[in-house]
Amino acid sequence: MAKKVKQQSNVVAVNRRASFEYFIEDRYEAGLSLQGWEVKSLRAGKCNISEAYVNVKGGEVVLFGSVINPLKTSCAFVVSDPTRTRKLLLSRREIDKLAGSVQRQGYTIIPLKLYWKNQWAKLEIGLARGKQEHDKRDSIKDRQWARDKERIMKKNFK
């Protein structure tokens, strides 16, 4: 008899508001520079990136505002700051491209998803442009129409 294997998702945190608030033009995968207690907390799923943002400072890409809550058992002797700034690991070409887009074209960089890739913590960041209020209403209408269309199609095939 085969054993039931519990399939674990490799996604730790998702920024659901990002696709509603922004038009996402490009996506990049960046590594994170973490401390030991942060890795343990990420494994436990104690992370929030919904209020976070990314900025290019001094030739480095930095994540601000993300919250990684420490575990009580893993950081007894380490001073842990849950909202510290974390360096993102990207190639020089990607950093220059992001910096140019932000400065010249008015884009913003937002974190989209935090996940595990093998043993490495990765952050998917998006080069995005903000939506206006009427764009948000259009996306709500499109989402409702897609939902209604699915209901109609399901009803017709029964």
Question: What are the residues whose beta carbons fall under 8 Å from the beta carbon of 124, sequence distance 6 or more?
Answer: 27, 28, 29, 30, 111, 112, 113, 114, 115
User: Based on the number of CB atoms within 10 Å of its own CB, is 145 exposed (0-12), middle (13-18) or buried (19 or more)?
Assistant: exposed
Note the pTM of the prediction, 2 decimals.
0.76
Instruction: Flag whether pLDDT at 28 surpasses 90.
Output: yes
Sign of CA dihedral 59, 26, 89, 63: positive
Place of tokens 């010249």: 104
Rounded to an integer, what distance in angstroms lies between the CA atom of residue 158 and that of residue 153?
9
pLDDT by residue (tens digit) across 70-83?
887 765 667 777 88
Provide mean pLDDT across the span 31-38: 89
If one looks up domain 12-131 in CATH, what number appears?
Answer: 2.40.280.10
pLDDT by residue (tens digit) across 94-127?
999 999 988 888 889 999 999 999 889 999 999 9
Tokens at residue 61, please? 């890409």
pLDDT by residue (tens digit) across 128-146?
988 777 777 888 888 899 9
Rounded to an integer, what distance in angstroms lies between the CA atom of residue 25 and that of residue 37?
34
Instruction: Flag whether pLDDT at 63 surpasses 90.
Output: yes
Confidence of residue 5 (pLDDT cuts 50, 70, 90): very low
> What pLDDT, on the 0 to 100 scale, is given for residue 86?
92
